[in-house]
Amino acid sequence: LYLQYALALKPNSDAALVQLAAVAEQLKDGEGAIALYRRIPGSSPLKELSDLQLGLNLADLDRHDEAIAHLKAFVDKHPQDMRAYLALGGVYSSKEDFRSAANLYDKAVEVLKTPTNANWNIFYQRGIAYERLKEWPKAEPNFRRALELFPDQPQVLNYLGYSWVDMNMNLKEGLAMIQKAVDLRPSDGYIVDSLGWAYFRMGRFEDAVREMERAVSLKPEDPVLND
């Protein structure tokens, strides 16, 4: 109510528009959020943020073609903004267009030149895209690079460790990575389930059952873990 009152007093308040759009997002009102973001003028310092969020809301509404066109234009206009690559790559991945996602992340890495630890997710998502394309020789170096940038990132530790175990390679190192991921995020049912699977692959069946049951207790509503 306060934000609506502020907007009524000052209809062109960019900050109030963006905050109201964020509230609309929390209420799962994507259309309302999009309408508010569209009101941000091109001269506003909040324009980049609003354009990015607009694209994400289009994707959340399954308006994928519109989201892709919007985010492509954003990437072309702001090629240094890694958030845009992640947003657009996420839309491609949701459509299972992993080739387009991989090509996009290749472009992002070229732009980065000197990555920092804040860029770990670019390499992680690039690795996932290549893994889903069954191009493991291209996927693995990206997971390793992500871990060089962010050694204690539980998602990357879990994904790489699980992939190794699933392919029956680097079993001890893969198990150690998953165990570390569990230590970092002990309440994540998916990571705990990975640990159970790793124990199963290594013939440690009692440990496997214990961890798989714990995973189900952490995510009781998940049909995959309950299978």
What is d(CA 127, CA 138) in angstroms, rounded to the nearest whole number? 7
Q: Is the pLDDT of residue 2 over 50?
A: no
CB of 194 within 8 A of CB of 175? no
Q: What pLDDT is recorded for position 226?
A: 47
Q: What pLDDT is recorded for position 227?
A: 52
pLDDT in tens, 30-89: 999 999 999 999 999 999 999 999 999 999 999 999 999 999 999 999 999 999 999 999
Q: Name all domains of the chain by residue range, CATH numbers in brackets.
A: 1-61 (1.25.40.10), 64-151 (1.25.40.10), 153-227 (1.25.40.10)
CB of 192 within 8 A of CB of 169? no
What is d(CA 161, CA 27) in angstroms, rounded to the nearest whole number? 37
Angle at alpha carbon of residue 219, lines to 165 and 87, rounded to 5°: 75
What is d(CA 156, CA 185) in angstroms, rounded to the nearest whole number? 12
Nearest residue to 82 (alpha-carbon basis) of 47, 117, 132: 117
Q: Is the pLDDT of residue 11 over 80?
A: no
What's the number of CA atoms in the CB half-sphere (13 Å) around residue 172? 0
pLDDT in tens, 175-211: 999 999 999 999 999 999 999 999 999 999 999 999 9
pLDDT in tens, 17-32: 999 999 999 999 999 9
Q: What pLDDT is recorded for position 219?
A: 77
Tokens 């705990």 correspond to what residue? 192
Say what angle helices 154-166 and 171-184 make with each other, to 10 degrees: 150
Nearest residue to 162 (alpha-carbon basis) of 175, 145, 180, 148: 175
CB of 150 within 8 A of CB of 119? no
The phi and psi torsions of 218 (rounded to 5 degrees) equal -80, -30
3-state SS, residue 133: coil
CB of 164 within 8 A of CB of 170? yes
What is d(CA 53, CA 22) in angstroms, rounded to the nearest whole number? 9
3-state SS, residue 219: coil
Distance of CA 102 to the CA centre of its chain: 14
The model's confidence at residue 12, banded by pLDDT at 50, 70 and 90, is low
pLDDT in tens, 94-151: 999 999 999 999 999 999 989 999 999 999 999 999 999 999 999 999 999 999 999 9
Q: What pLDDT is recorded for position 184?
A: 98
